[in-house]
Amino acid sequence: MDPLARPLPLPCGATLKNRLCKAGMTEGLADEDDRASERLETLYGRWSDGGAGLLVTGNVMVDRRYLERPGNIVIDRNGGLDALATMARAATRNGNHCWMQISHPGRQCTRMSSNHPVSPSSVKMRGMLGSVAAPRELEVDEIWDIIERFAYVAKTAKETGFTGVQIHSAHGYLSSQFLSPYTNRRTDEWGGSLENRARFLRETYKAVREAVGADFPVGAKLNSSDFQKGGFSNEESALVARWLCDAGLDLLEISGGTYEQTALFGRLGEEAEKKAESTRRREAYFLEYARNIREAARGVPLMVTGGFRSVSLMREVIDSGEVDVVGIARPFCVVPDLPNQIEKGTLTKLPTPEKERRLGPGIFGPTSSIRSVRTLNSQAEVSWFYRQIIALGEGREPDLALGTWGALLAHFNGELAVARRRTFQQPKAALPAPKEALDA
Ligand SMILES: Cc1cc2nc3c(=O)[nH]c(=O)nc-3n(C[C@H](O)[C@H](O)[C@H](O)COP(=O)(O)O)c2cc1C
């Protein structure tokens, strides 16, 4: 039997029908009240038909005041439960699982939703071209409020037909900000030692588990490392993995990086890239880092996401037991049925359109020494994929001819339009320029 086609039983008793997962990708397709929409139903129906054993949704936010981008789904008593149920039905219609990724952006919060984001400590992001504001430190009662919100969203996910949840604790989002000594400078019981920095994630896991019960899948996405000086390290990640797995986690997804250090897309920093160069695992760039975590995870299923493009490598890592689930994101934007194609043997290498997405050569390129230029390049690359997701949600085919600048401009225009349409608006006095762009 093809290793990728093997079912995977999870500790809670549920089973994934195969080893391929579409990893979480923010969709930006919620309606004006931040609820699920018909476009999300279409998108997830297509991905479900595509044959993956597991679909993880993009960030679903726990608080409408703090978004990673306008168009995020939010669940904070804003209604829309029927629409969520419709989305969940479409997303699971092929016998696969669809898990809701639950998230809070913390300081990685777009100004289009708030000029006053929150974070464990007030450490401002660098090189973000003014798109995010400096955060303020969370009060302890606010931290508990956020944990309760995660549990509420998890319960809602279960009630509306999603078949599991994933706590987003990677990529520099709030839970990942708590884990990192670079962004968490607190001196109370929520900061300092690793035990304290991991408190937010562990309490969140506990609350979520209580909300959904023992037989419902709960996963987490964790950085193998932040790849940032002074950030969350690989050794720390292995310990946190152990704690989560001991607590009863069903699936641990490994990724890495933050908005400031976009390792999630393979830019691990000079030192780490040199290390990867010397291994045959340059393609799936987190495999080396996942090894430590594998040992710590005490048999809890492990998923690794980032860079997997050759089907032979996917088969090899599943067959050897190194990884239990292969997480794939960007290729699903252009080949939504890639699991079916892999099964039929018509696809042995996944497409890599990201390789052509750069705004310029040399210092204007993605490896520029100027941080803001690097940010702009990352934005351009990711914008291209955002536009493809929108195309899929609108029932169209991916637009492979779309240029990088065109994608970036279309993305920013689109985001402003979505922000303008939102029913919830931050106080007008706090709105960023240009005023006319955001006024309702
Ligand atoms: C358009 C886009 C949106 C993304 N949104 C999310 C998200 O909402 N949650 C998340 O955990 N990761 C998100 N990611 C990261 C992916 O899940 C994945 O970790 C990354 O793209 C590397 O995997 P890949 O090489 O297979 O694309 C996003 C990536 C892309 C390209």
Query: Distance from the CA of 385 to the center of ligand 1, in angstroms?
Result: 10
Residue nearest to atom 9 of ligand 1 (CA): 24
Q: How far apart are CA 118 and CA 377, in angstroms?
A: 26
Query: Distance from the CA of 306 to the center of ligand 1, in angstroms?
Result: 8
**Is the confidence at residue 435, as pLDDT, over 60?**
no
Q: What lines the ligand 1 site, CB under 6 Å?
A: 23-26, 58-59, 101, 168, 170-171, 221, 255, 264, 305-308, 328-330, 382, 385-386
Q: How far apart are CA 41 and CA 13, in angstroms?
A: 27
- The helix (H) or strand (E) run that includes residue 99 is strand 97-103
Residue nearest to atom 5 of ligand 1 (CA): 25
Average pLDDT over residues 202-220: 98
Query: Distance from the CA of 173 to the center of ligand 1, in angstroms?
Result: 13
pLDDT digits (tens, 9 = 90+) for 259-286: 888 887 877 776 666 666 555 467 898 9
Residue nearest to atom 16 of ligand 1 (CA): 329
Count of C-beta atoms within a 10 Å radius of residue 166:
29
389 Cα nearest atom in ligand 1? 1
Domains of the chain: 3-352 (3.20.20.70)
Q: Ligand 1 pocket test: pick from 27, 103, 262, 264 the residue with the most ligand atoms within 8 Å of its Cβ.
A: 264
* pTM, to two decimals: 0.95
Q: Ligand 1 pocket test: pick from 305, 308, 386 the residue with the most ligand atoms within 8 Å of its Cβ.
A: 305
Q: How far apart are CA 329 and CA 52, in angstroms?
A: 12
Residue 436: pLDDT band by 50, 70, 90 thresholds? very low
pLDDT digits (tens, 9 = 90+) for 67-90: 999 999 999 999 999 999 999 999
Mean pLDDT (the chain, rounded): 92
Phi–psi pair at 334, nearest 5 degrees? -115, -20
Q: Are 336 and 392 in contact (CB under 8 A)?
A: yes
Query: Distance from the CA of 330 to the center of ligand 1, in angstroms?
Result: 7
DSSP classification of residue 157: H
Q: How far apart are CA 301 and CA 217, in angstroms?
A: 12
Give the largest CA-CA distance in the chain. Answer: 62
Q: How confident is the model at residue 433, as a pLDDT?
A: 43
CA dihedral 292, 297, 303, 307 (to 10 degrees): -10
Query: Distance from the CA of 25 to the center of ligand 1, in angstroms?
Result: 5
- Kindly report the three-state secondary structure assignment for every residue of 185-252: CCCCCCCCCHHHHCHHHHHHHHHHHHHHCCCCCEEEEEECCCCCCCCCCHHHHHHHHHHHHHCCCCEE
Q: How far apart are CA 412 and CA 122, in angstroms?
A: 27
